[in-house]
Amino acid sequence: MVRVEHSKMWRTLGATLLLCSLVGGDVYLHNPRGSNNRLNERSANRQNANRVFDSQMASGAKRKRQQYHQADMEAALEAANNGASVYSLAKKFGIPRTTLIGRIKGHHGEVQGRPSVLTPEDEEALVGYAKYMSDRGFPLTVRVTKALAQQIEIKRAKGRGESPRFKEAGPGKKWWRGFKRRHPDISLRSPDQLDKERALMATPGVIFEYFLMLEDKLTEANAKNKNPHVIYNADETGVDLSAKISKVIVPRGEKRSPSRRVGSRDHVSALVCVSAAGQTVPPMIVFSKGFPGGAYTEGGPANALYGFSDSGFIDEFLFERQKETEKKEKEERKEKRKTELNKKREEKKQKELEKTRKKEERQAEAKRKLEEKEARKRKREEGKLQAQKKKRRENGEEKENQRQPVDDPGSSSKTVNNNRGGYNVGDKTNNAFNNEEGQFRMNNNRGGYNVGDKTNNAFNNEEGQFRMNCQVVLQYMCQDDVSSTTGTQDTLRNGRTTQTQDHTPANNLQETRAQSNGRKNNNVKTDRALQEPWQWYDKCYNRERNQGLFVADQIPRRNNNGYSAAIHTRQNPNGNRRGYECPEERDHYPYWHPTPWRDIAVLTDNITMCDKRYCKFPSPVNMSDLSKRYCKFPSPVNMSDLSQRISKFPSPVNMSDLSYYKRESANSMAKYECVEFYNNARTQKKHWSRWNNQQDCEDNGGEWRAYYSYLEKAPTVSQADCQGEGRSGLRYVYGYPEGEDTDTQTCLVLPPAPDCQPAPWSRSNHLGNSREGQASNYTWVLPYFPSGETKRCVVRIRYNISTDDYDPWQTDAAYNQNLQLGLLSPVQQNPTVDIGAEYSPLRLAINTAQFGRTFQDRSHVFLLKPRPSGLEGRAIHNLNVRGKRGNIVQVYPAVEYDFVPTDLHMEEGDLTHIQWEGTDRNNIVQMRSLLDNFPAPFENSTMWNSARVWWPAAPKYSLAKDLAVAFASSGYYTCFHAEVCHSESVERKNKLDKLLNNAPASFEGALLEFRKGTYHYMCTRNNNFSNRSQKGTIHVAEGTKSSFTDNDLP
């Protein structure tokens, strides 16, 4: 056991803890106030030297001769030759003035005293060797240096043929002092003792490599953006308790003098743990072999742990003890923070309650005063009115009439299902799903569709089109399908819950790529629905809003970076978030920046915005009455051919300016946005930029870049070949793909231009039913994907509705309300109007945030798959089921359930994929007439006996009776006889519930080809002769594509 003086041990160990560095040089801890320690030591040494000198002079001690270096003398002589003052040179270099004058006059030689034993060359070689050994961790002591000088002199003396000049004992103290004085570039230092293993790890190369590895590990573990308070580093350091080691020779100015030693001696170790934020955990002190005697903890670190081991280093037992201590300390700190946080929350809550109470008191007092003021005002007005009436009666101008007070009409309401989450995703079986694996995903004919395939999209145009400007915009978004239902962070999915995805704004506009990725990783949840990607909303949140848009008297708020962004619109001034949709893009069409949505069609009340449509004017034409719309004409214009719409056109007519929707669609033209980069090398592209126009973008170092909406990529096509039209009339372009984080151009397959048609007529608040009583709908001809890969898609339908109270096309930011400039919006929030009755203004229920509004419906995720082989050139129709929540009152005059389309017209050779998804139940049975409400017996049915099954493959549905049973039971039964489908047959499976309650909620159905004829069908569950009439008809006309015979029938 080694005993040391306790106070000395703690002083040494304390300095070690303060200047602790982890092995390998990964972290250096230092005292921020200790950077001038060396300067303070030098200053203290000079003060001590002065005190010693003064005491010697006072005691009459002999004064020592002043010392100076030969290099200083040479510099002074050179300066004197250049005309410098002798006095200033003597003071500057510390050389006696008389000595300097003597040297200038040549009275003294360059060197005084006896010459050195070793030659200057030998001494320089010895100094070089000492530096060489110091750099490698083996510095020389004074004794070793003297021995080397003795060996050099002995060798030189033999060459001279004389005896060595050093005595037998070797060089003495005077030689060493002279040697050191002649070589001021070396000094004596106490060595830093390092074991051999530690010394090997203390080289600059190893340290630098360690930091590179550390950075890679932190990046891999996504820990670079972690709170520094939760990142700790620990290391063990020790203090040698052995006898004092002689000083060694090192280059002057060297901060460290590492000295390697083999093995470890007795010492005291300290395990120190510090967080990246500077928080410390009480250290553990480890003694060698046992505890020292006496009060060894006196003067030690507060709350430190003490232990000992055979080696004096920490071992597994001691380390576990230290970890338990750290864990306990961490829990205590956590509990303390929690207590403090709860206390602050409670204080804040009390303050808020007090603030709310005072606010309510002030509001109540203000309301009371206002009511008193209004009462006094009404009383005065009533007095004036009564006086006027009395005067008129006296003059015979008016008779006494009873008057009914007019109440404030308030605001109207609608019975519409706009609930968050909308309709639930369909279940695969008769049990409600508890994860996305249990959801049914529409396959759109188990082979999907290629070009020419058709699916019917019914929509709920709830606002109607009376005295309104209406555009119905149908759009879709597709991506390559993946094997799992949830996929990656950017995969389209329905989610398991109705909770919306999270979004955390950037703390500032200078965030790094790692910080951006960290926000995304923390926000996107795989159990929640996702359509637009996270980057899309984040881009919208950070980009400035279009300042040219009309916001009426609404005041858009600002984001956390201090400016109004694209999430703030007239409809959404507060920046409320719904999923990851961008409010500015949702509320305006066509959008001026790149968008992830591809256009299907635009259905408009203003047909002049479409191609190949013409306008008709009244006769004679009054140019001053024409509106601000554009219209396409033949040339020359034939007034008799113009449509009944009134339109204003420029003179002369420029035909290229008139195809508005097709021209401005992102399907047809590139859209621009500002691109910025994370690094100065401009190799790491940011997914967002603040700037929304070319001027601001380029002024702030960005690049104004064009992006293309595309169906899919064609990376194998070269840039030279990527142009023109390909199969099915598809267009190709070489450019930047929309929505990609990569900064690379490639060949892209462009989507077709959107269809443009007149919007179907519907009555306001009749939930989308048209004049014929059918749901307003549009038949989508699906695009052709050249790759043949399965696509995962969603569809949305937007209803852009504006009233005629102001011109939605010409009213822009110039009409925004600005009271400071005296500008009033053409529409006001809840205005009062004078109807001619004195003192009785009426208030209109107008919300300017909804006066001109966009609604939307969205589908669940569905799949588009390549069609089965052998069906090329065939049209495939999709027959589904639609439903509405609520009872008969809420959905009148629509139906709660219906087939879509209810009347399907096609030709022989066309195919129909009948399928449905839902959480309720549906089935199909044939009936003889739509006037009937009872199904026909199978023996009298013709529908299933006239259908060829293209999918699924035989032996499934190999008999017409099996097909009828499957559709009647919603897939509960697969066949009738057990020898065909065993346990799924009518003969073996448990009995089907008469209300289909145990049948699957969703049914993948079959791909069928029908012979010429008319087939009526119904659903037995949702046809109760009153509000539910779920019926449909398939009309098959004569055609030329059909080739199947009776042998192909089931």
Cis status of the peptide bond prior to 636, with omega within 30 of 0: yes
Give me the half-sphere count of Cα atoms (radius 13 Å) on the Cβ side of residue 545: 30
Low-confidence ranges of the chain (pLDDT < 50): 1-47, 49-63, 262-264, 396-423, 445-452, 462-466, 612-655, 657-658
Please tell me the total number of residues recorded for the chain in this structure. Answer: 1050
DSSP 563-580: S-BTT--SS-TT----TT
**Beta pairing, strands 671-675 & 712-713:** unpaired
pTM score over 0.75:
no
- DSSP per position, 71-137: HHHHHHHHHHHTT--HHHHHHHHT--HHHHHHHHHT-S-SS-SSPPSS-HHHHHHHHHHHHHHHHTT
In Å, how far are 26, 197, 227, 515 from 213, measured between CA atoms?
A: 10, 20, 20, 20
Closest CA to 241 of 267, 263, 264: 267
Task: For tokens 């005309």, name the residue.
Answer: 83
Do 904 and 1037 contact (CB within 8 A), yes or no? no
Distances (CA, A) of 897 to 339, 901, 1026, 1032: 56, 12, 12, 11
Domain ranges of the chain: 70-105, 115-183, 330-397, 873-1050
Q: At what angle do helices 97-105 and 86-93 cross, to 10 degrees?
A: 120
Q: From CA 684, how far away is CA 942, in angstroms rounded?
A: 65
- Token code pair at residue 470: 């209406």
- Opening angle at CA 17, ends 15 and 19, nearest 5: 70
In this predicted structure, what is the pLDDT of residue 113? 60
* pLDDT for the residue 774: 73
192 alpha carbon, distance to own chain's centre:
50
Amino acid 1033: pLDDT: 96
Q: What are the tens digits of pLDDT across the range 796-837?
A: 999 887 777 788 888 889 999 998 888 889 888 998 888 777
Query: Which of 1.10.630.10, 2.60.120.260, 2.60.40.420, 3.30.70.330 is the CATH number of 873-1050?
Result: 2.60.40.420
Antiparallel, parallel or unpaired: β 755-758 and 305-309: unpaired
**Looking at this protein, which amino acid is placed at residue 992?**
L
